[in-house]
A and B are shown apart, each in its own frame.
Chain A
Amino acid sequence: MAVKGETAYIRAFGRTFTLHIVNPVEQAAQETGTGSDTARAPMPGMVVEILVSEGETLTKGQPMITIESMKILTVIISPRDGEVSMVHLKSGDTFDKNASLVTLKKEEET
């Protein structure tokens, strides 16, 4: 038997079987949490760069906005596929924790 990542290759009875390991915890994590509509600030800081504009269609994981706080540049990425409904701040603005950064159109609207 050989295992590479989540795939197991088993040689038995003169044949080779390929098994994909499905982890129920991981599967549950993927099925829920498609992402909320609004990306919020994880901590207080300042906007360095806005990378999207209103009306733009995004794919999940696409960079939306770069913020700087406590000497760290953080890129806020899109939580899901969708269209930008509102960018709440502009470059150079400061904000508090949990401030709205970018809102996507509700999923049923897109």
Chain B
Amino acid sequence: MRCIKSNVDTQSVEFRTFEKHNKKLMATLHARQQKVRFDRPQRDIKRLRRQKKLLVRERIDLLLDPGTPFLELSTLAANTAYEGTVPSAGVVSGIGIVNGREVLVMASDSSIKGGAWYPLTVKKMVRTLDIAIENHLPMIHLVDAAGAFLPLQSGLFPDRYMAGRMFRNQCVLSAMGVKQVALVLGHSTAGGAYVPTLCDYSVMVRGTGGVFLGGPPLVKAATGEEVSADELGGADVHGSISGTADYAVNSEQEGLALVREIVGTFPREIKAAVERRESEEPYYDPRELYGIIPDDVKKQFDMREVIARIFDGSRFHEFKPGYGTTVICGFAFLYGWKVGIIGNNGVLFSDSAQKCTQFMQLCNRDRIPLVFLQNITGFMIGKSYEHGGITKDGSKMLMVQANLDIPKLTIMTNGSFGAGNYAMCGRAFDARFLFTWPNSQISVMGMEQAAKTLTQIRIKALQRQGKSLQDEEAQKIHDSIAQDYMEKSSAYYSTSELWDDGIIDLADTRKVLGISLSVALNREFTETPNGVLRI
């Protein structure tokens, strides 16, 4: 397979300008991640220390095999919600290695409101369990949560993808044979009591761990019975009397060691058979991506330059290179695994959509996982394109893409607008993982177009009420709409709402895709029947 020949001049003024811009974006990203991971009020840390509890990051450190990677997911979930008071949505989730096995960790952060569940906490937990289902990943629950955050209970309790879905997902996982281990490190009350109880293995820490449908205050209020938490549902009660838990331990450290031992009894994952060869680092330095991705979402760049800085040896076999040139399709290797790549190099036309459709069918038949590199402003519009069947050709791309069972991974590299988002495997199309670069923008239409349209509507409404507007006022309306639109189309808003699995540093893309693909191969996949294509 040929090595891509880069046309990037790393000494050029443009490269330097973009590099400076993007490095600043990365510094902001890392600072924000650092803050949500470690920045907690002293009194909360002191309270946990008094209770002889470890902080959530310390627990995860003790759980995972030393020196192995941990791919944290949705670190910046809820970063623009609840005035920023619920870092990471109050729960840490990620993929790591325990005793040589790939596992998915989900750990409540009791330094934030006692680990209470906010609507976005529940959304993140449901997504985490979905990841376990989609990729057959064993789960480790580190349970230390106060339960639902009552003032917002209506936003997290009864709907299909709210709290109940977590327990439903746990039951589905069990039937699939995907193992789950819980370590109870705090009080797990009401619905939360089912989290450890539905696991295959439940370990409780003496003194701090508690599992009950109704805690002591509720019992007193309801029946008048006075009982301590330990007598009601402590580690020894459930370990020796009720059988609700399987092991009682004396400390968090002992519990984490026991969880490691339990995971060590699991069979090792069997990877789906896809073509494999020896891994090779990219020939071009991934850090050069900083100088390639422009400082303005409207500026065009060649996706081949991105491919050259992610995949093995910068090698790429391009499929149909002379046809539908605004999209790039082709094969490469990622840590030795063969993958198909679809990357945007402009607007989608009929021919580019058809090329993608053909290429996806090829990958499906030959069991080749797909990586989508999104930078898409949409499908081409206009009379001659409608006459040429652009909508029909786009529908083919959606039809085939949606029905694929081969693993799909998506990276939002720059822009993601309109139907292009769907066709290129946006969130609604079940990519196994979807990650966003911090420079990305995502919205149903571009900011300028949307702001102009909305401003016109607002001005007309005011005119109907008999108000006339000065240009200056119209500009003010435009600016405030644009500002709001800009914020809501940013990567940070996107990740806050769990529209992705996290924002990543450009230079980490290869590693993130590598871990994602490795776990995606834990589930066998099949060739699926396809929908009817409108030819």
A interface, CB within 8 angstroms of B: 3-6, 23, 25-26, 42-44, 61, 68-75, 97
User: Which residues of B have CB within 8 Å of A26?
Assistant: 2, 5
A70 to B280, CA, bound (A): 38
Interface size class of B (residues with CB under 8 A): 20 to 34
Contact check: which of B280, B283, B298, B325 meets A71 at CB < 8 Å? B298
Give chain B nearest CB distance to A31 CB in angstroms. Answer: 15
Q: Which residues from B are CB-within-8-Å of A70? A: 347, 377-378, 380-381
Q: A4-B283, A6-B3 are in contact. Are A68 and B298 (CB under 8 A)?
A: yes
Given contacts A43-B380, A44-B382, contact A72 B346 (CB under 8 A): yes
Expressed in whole angstroms, the Cα–Cα distance for A6 and B313 within the complex equals 10
Contacts of B68 in A (CB 8 A): none
Interface on B for A, CB 8 Å cutoff?
2-3, 5, 7, 280, 283, 296, 298-300, 313-314, 325-326, 346-347, 349, 377-378, 380-382, 384, 415, 417, 446, 448-449
Q: Whole-angstrom distance from the CB of A86 to the nearest CB of chain B? A: 24
Closest to A97 in B: B384
**Pair A73/B298 contact, Cβ less than 8 Å:** yes
| Chain B residues touching A, majority SS | loop
Q: What is the CB-to-nearest-CB distance from A72 to chain B, in angstroms, rounded to a whole number?
A: 5
The closest CB in chain A to the CB of B347 belongs to A70
A23 and chain B: residue at smallest CB distance:
B2
Of the A-B pairs whose beta carbons lie under 8 Å apart in the complex, a sample of 11, sorted by A's number, is: A4-B283, A23-B2, A25-B2, A42-B325, A43-B346, A43-B380, A44-B382, A70-B380, A71-B417, A72-B346, A72-B377
Contact between chains at A43 and B296 (CB < 8 Å) = no
**When the two chains form their complex, are residues B347 and A72 in contact, meaning their CB atoms are under 8 A apart?**
yes
| Residue numbers in A under 8 Å from B7 (CB-CB) | 61
Residues from chain A with a CB closer than 8 A to the CB of B280 are 3
The distance in angstroms between the C-alpha atoms of A26 and B1, with both chains bound, is: 11
Least Cβ distance of B15 to chain A in Å? 14
In the complex, how many angstroms separate the beta carbon of A43 from the nearest chain B beta carbon? 6
Complex contact B346–A42 (CB within 8 A): yes
Residues on A with C-beta less than 8 A from B296 are 73
Contact of A71 with B380 in the complex, beta carbons under 8 Å = no
Are A74 and B378 within 8 A (Cβ)? no
